[in-house]
């Protein structure tokens, strides 16, 4: 997805949904949230699972310092103590090694994913221990630039939907999937708008 694609998607979604038009009016145009494709970005996204972005960034930067440059091969050379030093839990250490091993042995060819459709990318990513639906969706959205990637279980997406539509409770991932059908083929743009709303609301005094 290019910035021009994002503008087109925002134009279409704000035409379809007045609440999205309100997001842009109150909080500004959404960010691209793009990342370079490859091992480092996939690892960083995995580290963001169930923790704050700031905390994941600190851990990622520490790993980068210990395994410079941060490649799959170099990460596999780190021992348990070094991974703990970087801030990885035992579970995330196992996930990081599983992802690095899959990239290193070729069972996960990240370069080839750009030529695959979304469903195939999802299957290939989720075949690796530690990569679930959220991580796969965020990688497709931010690293591969897929316009219809939908991170339905993302906390900010769920909270944004609940806030905008004034729901009595947070919707389930299945419920967000049903709601997002109306936003195809721009569901990744819808996610960016929901993030924009969520972050804008959090910044209010």
**Per-residue pLDDT tens digits for 88-145:** 999 999 999 999 999 999 999 999 999 999 999 999 999 999 999 999 999 999 999 9
Domain 3-33+149-203 has CATH 1.10.3720.10: no
Tokens, residue 189: 């743009």
pTM score: 0.95
**Domain spans, the chain:** 3-33+149-203, 39-143
Domain 39-143 has CATH 1.10.340.30: yes
């Amino acid at each position: 997805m290019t910035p021009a694609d994002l503008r087109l998607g925002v134009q279409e979604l704000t035409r379809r949904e007045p609440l999205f038009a309100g997001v842009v009016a109150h909080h500004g145009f959404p960010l691209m949230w793009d990342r370079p494709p490859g091992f480092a970005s996939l690892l960083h996204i995995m580290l963001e699972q169930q923790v704050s972005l700031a905390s994941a960034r600190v851990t990622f930067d520490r790993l980068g310092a210990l395994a410079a440059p941060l490649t799959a091969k170099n990460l596999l050379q780190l021992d348990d103590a070094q991974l703990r030093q970087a801030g990885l839990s035992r579970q995330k250490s196992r996930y990081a090694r599983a992802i690095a091993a899959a990239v290193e042995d070729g069972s996960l060819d990240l370069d080839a994913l750009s030529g695959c459709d979304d469903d195939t990318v999802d299957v290939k990513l989720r075949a690796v221990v530690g990569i679930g639906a959220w991580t796969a969706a965020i990688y497709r959205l931010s690293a591969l630039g897929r316009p219809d990637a939908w991170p339905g279980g993302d906390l900010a997406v769920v909270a944004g939907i609940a806030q905008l539509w004034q729901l009595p409770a947070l919707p389930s991932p299945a419920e967000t999937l049903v709601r997002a059908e109306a936003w195809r083929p721009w569901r990744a743009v819808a996610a960016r708008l929901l993030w924009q709303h969520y972050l804008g609301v959090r910044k209010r005094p």
